Amino acid sequence: MARLTGGDPSLLRRINSAVVLRALRGAEGPPTLTELVGETGLSRPTVEGVVDGLVTAGLVAEAADVATARRQGRPARRYRFRAEAGHLLGVEIGPHRVSAVLSDLTGKIVGRAERPVHETSDADERLERVRSVVSELLRRSEVARSTLRAVGVGTPGIVRADGSVRLCTALPGWTGLPLAERLRRSFRCPVLVENDANAAVLAERWQGVAEGCEDVVMVLAGLSPGAGSLIGGRLHRGYGGAAGEIGALHLLGREAAPERLLSTGEEPLHPLDDAAVARVFRRAGGGDEQARLAVDRFVRRLVHDVAALVLALDPELVVIGGWAAGLDGVLAPLRAELDRYCLRPPRVELSVLGEGAVPVGALRLALDHVEEQLFSVQAGPA
């Protein structure tokens, strides 16, 4: 931890700047200097100096107060945090689509874009699709690329701390890809890459069904399910970034791979064919006995996979997302079986963000990064 002394004026300036900026961003309306002094506990000359610096930096602007301006005499000057001073981007790179969301510096979404991509597309094709989606989104939103402060990316696979992909079976040519490095060529700002299930659990806690929960497991249910976990409100990635890869549990000597469990014929489903999976669930809901048996087999496997995480982590809440979100017949057997297997069964809910969870979680990554830059205080050069 940095040690604050009388000989460290640069650190003191950063502390004061962070305190004032946080007060401005959290204010219900544009405060006056006097109100900022009362809110921050700093002296008036200090607040005046900090506000002047933030105005020069483009993060704060003077706001006109119509009611005050009508009074006789000089109105009090009021200031506001300029949420439009920069923008953040959240991107999902998936087997079948590339999706992006754009926000201001408060996380308020100002635009979305999405384009399909074929599951057999190689890495170069997929990255080109990312660039085209982002360009379309910025153009439609009338936002300059130069205003981007950070880009968050959610992707299948095991992601290293440097943003490279250690292993990915869902996207061709993705294993070993230096994803963050490749994407930085298109942006003049930090690029943060995270596993898609990890991004999704951040989104559900920020804007979804897990809001306010500190211990959460988010399962992206599919033929190869993955899970993201929050422990004590913090994302748990594991030592090598592979925490939550429950799709690999079938390798522990089980008799059938997941794509065989949900098959209703001689041939197994393709692991990336979400549409075929959805068709099996619809047929089961319509009374097709063969499809119902396949769904029962799959749900039992999913329950066992989720139960392994629940027994290890004891979460307050399990959120089911991915293609399973919105499909009938998943929650009831999952709750019943977790009641049977787990010492303390958690609450189980469907994702309320649905397919939007991963890009929104990627946006949260970018927002966390910018907030750390704006509001945290660390020793070092100003």
Cα separation, 356 vs 349, in Å, equals 16
Across the range 26-36, mean pLDDT stands at 92
pLDDT tens digits, 151-205: 999 999 999 999 999 999 889 999 999 999 999 999 989 999 999 999 999 999 9
Percent of the chain, pLDDT > 90? 58
Cα separation, 371 vs 149, in Å, equals 10
**More confidently predicted of 370 and 283:** 370
When the pLDDT of each residue in the chain is averaged and rounded to a whole number, the result is 86
What local confidence, expressed as pLDDT, does residue 379 receive? 43
Q: pLDDT class for 382, splitting at 50, 70, 90?
A: very low
What local confidence, expressed as pLDDT, does residue 13 receive? 86
**Phi/psi at 193 (5° precision):** -110, 135
Q: Answer yes or no: is pLDDT of 304 > 70.
A: yes
Candidates 345, 342, 159; CA nearest to 235 is 159
| CATH fold of the domain at 212-352 | Nucleotidyltransferase; domain 5 (3.30.420)
CATH superfamily, with its number, for domain 85-201+358-374: ATPase, nucleotide binding domain (3.30.420.40)
CA angle 352, 356, 358 (to 5 degrees): 110
Cα separation, 126 vs 183, in Å, equals 11
What local confidence, expressed as pLDDT, does residue 65 receive? 56
Q: Which contacts of 118-126 are long-range, i.e. CB under 8 A and separated by 24 or more positions?
A: 119/95, 119/172, 119/272, 120/172, 121/172, 122/172, 122/173, 123/171, 123/172, 123/173, 123/174, 123/177, 124/173, 126/93, 126/98, 126/171
pLDDT tens digits, 119-131: 899 999 999 999 9
Cα separation, 138 vs 132, in Å, equals 10
Which CATH class, in words, describes the domain spanning 9-81? mainly alpha
* Secondary structure (H, E, C), the chain: CCCCCCCCHHHHHHHHHHHHHHHHHHCCCCCEHHHHHHHHCCCHHHHHHHHHHHHHHCCEEEECCHHHHCCCCCCCCEEEECHHHCEEEEEEECCCEEEEEEEECCCCEEEEEEEECCCCCCHHHHHHHHHHHHHHHHHHHCCCHHHEEEEEEEECCEECCCCCEEECCCCCCCCCCCHHHHHHCCCCCCEEEEEHHHHHHHHHHHHCCCCCCCCEEEEEECCCCEEEEEECCEECCCCCCCCCCHHHHHHCCCCCCHHHHCCCCCCCCCCCCHHHHHHHHHHHHCCCHHHHHHHHHHHHHHHHHHHHHHHHHCCCEEEEEECCCCCCCCHHHHHHHHHHHCCCCCEEEECCCHHHHHHHHHHHHHHHHHHHHHHCCCCCCC
Cα separation, 252 vs 180, in Å, equals 32
Cα separation, 237 vs 157, in Å, equals 12
pTM here? 0.87
Candidates 100, 190, 185; CA nearest to 141 is 100
pLDDT tens digits, 311-349: 999 999 999 987 655 455 678 888 888 898 888 899 999
**Phi/psi at 209 (5° precision):** -70, -15
What local confidence, expressed as pLDDT, does residue 4 receive? 36
Query: Are 85-201+358-374 and 212-352 the same fold in CATH?
Result: yes
Structural domain boundaries in the chain:
9-81, 85-201+358-374, 212-352
Tokens of 350: 């469907």
